[in-house]
Amino acid sequence: MTMPLVCWFQECNRDSLALVGGKVSSLGELIGAGIRVPPGFAVTTHGYRQFFETDGMNHKVHVRLNGLDEHDAEALDSVSAEIREMIETAPLSIELEDQIAEHYRHLSTHCNVPAVPVAVRSSATAEDLPGASFAGQQDTYLWVRGVDDLLAKTKRCFASLFTARAIAYRLRMGFDHEQVALSVGIQKMANSAAAGVMFTINPINGDRSSIVVNANFGFGESVVSGEVTPDEFLINKISLDIVRRTVPQKEIYYAVDRASHSCRRLDLPAERQSVQSVLDDDVTELARMGKRIEQHYGRPMDVEWAVDGDMPTGSNVFILQARPETVWSSQQPPAAPAASKSAIEHILSSIMTGKTMA
């Protein structure tokens, strides 16, 4: 069977990892589970490999990577710059260009928006896995419009697999460069009034009975990058009640510059800096979606989300990415204490061991 160069998110699921990488296979799985996800498509790893087979590029790249030392920062930077330039200036095949352009036109028609703005994100076959978190090693481009810009950003995503940081990470983790391929996810941009991250476990102490939501105005880049101290909500996973909220001063946010059609870092007006960035109803809806995602995957999850300002409350919360939480999930839970047979036995046990009864 001929493998596709490009495919729709809804054609993917958790078994599509080798074809579309961690991010896109997860998005397809979420769509199949009924989770609200902005529509999109992916350039597959087959498309990536077809591109790299052109003019012996794959051989040239791996010759340059041979013998690199993860601790030699100067050599890593030099080789990375050379490889990325080679990739970004190489042509895509006519077949791959045509398929990307055709899917983009269909997406724009589906969304009823000419040259619909999209996020272009890398999706590597070794990222977002329980045993290795490659998340954030490759590039993301927001508010990309038009076929020409989309094709250029696709190649820049291909090239981002060879940043000095990504090369060093693979060397350190023992991943073979030739075994790690890249897919590119192309997803309709949500007009984010607010966005951020959600953990279906408390990332501070590993408490699985809690959900934590971090939020800021605009796109989620300010939260993911750590450029702001975000609003934080602690939610009881059972009742979905907001147990605690922290609303610090937030000085910057990311939004669309309508003149240049690009995503820009902006100063938040003084009167909004200490205002809660997301409504309580949307926080509750996020937590409800987080529970469904965790139940579907059977493990705590790390989720990126956005509230679309163009949509009415109740249908305005979208999931942009979901991946397994890798810090606490890899630890063994503490052994549960043996249950007492009766209240009297519990009291006697406490007296004998000198414990104070609460």
pLDDT at 126: 61
Residue 1 in domain: no
Average pLDDT score over residue span 302-330:
87
Domain termination site, one of 188, 209, 232: 188
pLDDT tens, 5-29?
999 999 999 899 999 998 899 999 9
Residue 348 in domain: no
Domain count, the chain: 2
Does position 358 have pLDDT exceeding 90, yes or no? no
Dist CA 40 CA 28 (whole Å): 10
Q: Check whether residue 31 and residue 92 sit in a common domain.
A: yes
CA atoms within 13 A on the CB side of 246: 8
| 57 and 87 Cβ atoms separated by less than 8 Å | yes
Does position 58 have pLDDT exceeding 90, yes or no? no
Domain termination site, one of 188, 214, 241: 188
Please tell me which of 35-39, 119-123, 134-138, 307-311 the model is most confident about, judged by mean pLDDT: 35-39
Q: Check whether residue 112 and residue 142 sit in a common domain.
A: yes
Whole-model pTM over 0.85: no
- Residue 288 sits in a domain of what CATH number? 3.30.470.20
Domain that holds residue 147: 6-188
Q: Check whether residue 168 and residue 284 sit in a common domain.
A: no
Q: Check whether residue 12 and residue 107 sit in a common domain.
A: yes
Average pLDDT score over residue span 291-305:
95
Does position 133 have pLDDT exceeding 90, yes or no? no
Domain termination site, one of 131, 156, 188: 188
> Helix, strand or coil for residue 77?
helix
E-strand spans in 48-200? 118-124, 140-144, 182-188, 192-199
Does position 127 have pLDDT exceeding 60, yes or no? no
Of residues 62 and 149, more confidence is placed in: 149
pLDDT tens, 145-181?
999 999 999 999 999 889 998 899 889 888 888 777 8
Q: Check whether residue 264 and residue 180 sit in a common domain.
A: no
Does position 119 have pLDDT exceeding 70, yes or no? yes
Q: What is the secondary structure of 99-134 as a DSSP string?
A: HHHHHHHHHHHHHT-TT--EEEEEEETTSSBTTB--
- Residue 148 sits in a domain of what CATH number? 3.30.1490.20
Closest of 182, 206, 190, 188 to residue 332, by C-alpha:
206
Q: Check whether residue 263 and residue 172 sit in a common domain.
A: no
Residue 35 in domain: yes
In sequence order, what are the residues at sequence separation of 6 or more whose Cβ sits closer than 8 angstroms to the Cβ of residue 341?
Answer: none
Range in 11-20, 228-237, 255-264 the model is least confident about: 255-264
Q: Check whether residue 289 and residue 154 sit in a common domain.
A: no
Q: Check whether residue 164 and residue 207 sit in a common domain.
A: no
> What is the β-pairing status of strands 40-43 and 118-124?
unpaired
pLDDT at 123: 87
| 47 and 6 Cβ atoms separated by less than 8 Å | yes
The average confidence (pLDDT) of the chain is 88
pLDDT at 39: 95
Q: Check whether residue 179 and residue 200 sit in a common domain.
A: no
| 151 and 100 Cβ atoms separated by less than 8 Å | yes
Range in 20-29, 96-105, 183-192, 321-330 the model is least confident about: 321-330
pLDDT at 310: 80
Q: Check whether residue 144 and residue 254 sit in a common domain.
A: no
Residue 32 in domain: yes
For residue 286, give the amino acid letter.
Answer: L
Q: Check whether residue 14 and residue 55 sit in a common domain.
A: yes
Of residues 144 and 138, more confidence is placed in: 144
Residue 38 in domain: yes
Residue 345 in domain: no
Question: Band of the pLDDT at 342, cuts 50, 70, 90?
Answer: low
Residue 346 in domain: no
For the chain, what percentages of helix, strand and coil (3-state, to nearest 5) are there? 40, 25, 35
Q: Check whether residue 175 and residue 237 sit in a common domain.
A: no
pLDDT at 333: 54
Does position 135 have pLDDT exceeding 80, yes or no? no
Residue 290 in domain: yes
